[in-house]
Amino acid sequence: MTSLTPAALGFRMPPEWAPHRGTWLSWPHRESSWPGIFDRIPPVFVHIIATLVPHEHVYLNVTGPDMEADVRSRLASADVPLDRVVFHHFPTDDAWARDHGPIVLQRSVDGQPEEAVLDWDYNSWGGKYPPFDNDNAIPSSVASHYGLHRFVPGLVMEGGSIDVNGAGTLLTTEACLLNPNRNPGHTKADVEQALRDYFNVEHILWLGDGIAGDDTDGHVDDLTRFVGPSTVVTVVETDPTDVNYHVLKSNRERLEAMTDQDGKPLRIVELPMPRPIYHDGERLPASYANFYIANGVVLLPAYDTDRDEIARAVLQQCFPARRVTLIPSTDLAWGLGSFHCITQQWPAPPDPRSTKNRQ
């Protein structure tokens, strides 16, 4: 751990479309996160791992040898190659690796790449689902295991609450980062300074509220995502009677007035919203914005047979060099998240011969 900030030392978080060393996942085991349907969740994780391993390694947090043996058996039964699955006996409380997993920063020193782990505090979205001590310890465990520098801002932040373009701009929401259940007593200016210091960004873009059913208080990865240095995709709702209509319309209008770090207007690509999905009378936070960008493939949640293909075609145009793959996600959404919520990328070491990230 060091007292200097990542910005002072030249570290920066690469965009998600930059090449990956692999993807972090935390194997699901908390049945209360998917009450009544938990048995359907491990097969979804097997499907995700099977989709990822042809393209990159999967780093999998499990509670210990018994869970590892169970997962190995499940993967082998599904003919998933195990040579690119790396097991870590790092106990977790839940499976939402986007929010508790290691955010890896990078820099180049004298032509040599260096990595560090950014270790924000994690409090289960404002203390909603204790316990969360094991989840909060994951970045420290990863940094220690791999011998990486660790930066500790001392503030609560989740990976799903921010998105970066890798060129100096960060996207987030007021509903989440300014919520008093995260960092009471800290002003918007305080939060912005922390984002600049620890993500090494110059330009911060603020959206408003999140979608209905989102227990994270408005994570941006259910709303709007960078898919290029100056391009975002954002979900829109066309039904004016839907509870998300005005929220998404307001966020869309904010985007129209925004620019990137160079003052260039954002290119805005619209994604549809799936039709409302309910489970036991509860509106689920189903959103096509919760996709995950991996090497060679984009994992897109499928919810709605009439709209899934529309969303897939939109994203395929954004990622012509990757295969956009639809994977059923309604069961996962009963836990109030989807593919982006359960994944955290580990960027590949930067090529010292290039300062640009491939898309």
Q: Which residues are catalytically annotated?
A: 341
**C-alpha distances out from residue 43 to 79, 189, 303, 339, Å:** 13, 43, 17, 13
Using an 8 Å Cβ cutoff, are 236 and 229 in contact? no
What single DSSP character describes residue 209? -
- Pairwise CA distance, residues 182 & 186, whole Å: 9
The DSSP result for 267-278, as a single string, is EEEEEEPPPP-E
The beta strand positions in the chain, using DSSP E, are 20-26, 57-61, 85-88, 103-109, 112-118, 149-151, 163-164, 169-173, 203-207, 224-228, 231-236, 267-272, 278-279, 282-283, 292-294, 297-302, 323-328, 344-347
**Which residue type, as a one-letter code, is found at position 234?**
T
Per-position DSSP letters for 298-315, written without gaps between them:
EEEEE--TTTHHHHHHHH
